[in-house]
Structure 1
């Protein structure tokens, strides 16, 4: 499945593809963000059968090339092979430049609830635990409430039959 999202707040586009692999799913993407802090990025996001992150490989150009690997470990997360004790309570990854991560949270929660996300800020690549809440508004409609890094931020989300975002209020919109 291929999905394209355009940014609504600044110039930008993401071309995303997800397909089954031997251990679950493999999502690949290229993002061009032409906003105030312009950057290009690609990622390979490996998921298990339940759409939980196994590994996320990031390749960021802003203006120099930087790479990062985030891996789920039995007792937390590894970043470039190092244990990150500050991230041990994080349940899933939230990559700031894509609405795909909202699909992971929605699938994890399976209804209204809250989780602590491993928030990856772009283009800084700063990693922070961040509390988030999801509220059900109706069929395939959700309300995202940030209780952490961007406390006070809220947005309505509409997802498709696969729980992929098609409309993220004020930030992203799926395009043909």
Structure 2
């Protein structure tokens, strides 16, 4: 069962992400606030909402900066056909089922949950990559390979271009550790400490 709340912090520096998970009308809703700095050293509060269907295919993604008027929204039929908020088709994204948002480790969960993995067999996919701070999108090729699976966690090799990293996820596919980038907070221990 998915937790209701997940917190990630950057491996170094200041910031955090608070992800709320809920269900509505047979859709999984992932509503998150990310506080962090952009490349210019400016604080940015990024709010994103992802709607998935029961097969973990992305159906809608909205990203905006709090306190600003800019934002973007794309919709999908869950089979790889995309439109903008006005319903205009985006043919250059045809075939992309998953998304990747630059400021969060969460979107690694989407292909990990949606696809079936055999150990050491790479799976290549095209995703819609969103630059959260620039509010732009583009098509990107990514590869996931299951390296190991133990009780309670699995390790996947993730590749995108020349970038390669091994990420550890829990039994729900949520990132526990993303070396040099993100680490997940243990909310159960934090709650126990308050008792």
What is the TM-score of this pair, normalised by structure 1?
0.89
**What secondary structure sits across from 1:65 in the alignment?**
coil
The answer as to 2:144 corresponding to 1:160 is no
What corresponds to 2:99 in structure 1? 93
- How many residues matched? 171
Kindly state the Cα deviation for residue 70 of structure 1 after the two structures are TM-superposed: 1.2
Is 2:61 the counterpart of 1:56?
Answer: yes
Please state how far the C-alpha of 1:109 moved relative to its aligned partner.
2.2
Report how far residue 122 of structure 1 moved: 2.2
1:142 to 156, 164, 188: 156
1:69 CA displacement: 0.9
Determine which of 127, 145, 150 is the counterpart of 2:137. Answer: 127
1:107 to 103, 106, 113: 113
* Unaligned residue ranges in structure 2 (runs of 5+): 187-195
The equivalent residue for 1:84 is 90
- Shift >3 Å, 4+ stretches: 35-38
Q: Is the 8 A contact 2:74 2:84 kept in 1?
A: yes
Q: RMSD of the TM alignment (CA)?
A: 1.7
1:17 aligns with 2:20: yes
Aligned residue among 179, 185, 188 for 1:175: 185
SS at match of 2:47: strand
Q: TM-score, normalised by structure 2?
A: 0.81
Write 1 or 2 for the structure with the bigger share of strand.
Answer: 1
In structure 1, the gaps of 5 or more residues are none
Asked if 1:3 is matched to 2:6, the reply is yes
The Cα of 1:24 is off from its aligned counterpart by 2.4
Rg comparison, structure with higher value: 2
CA contact (8 A) 1:97 1:122 kept: yes
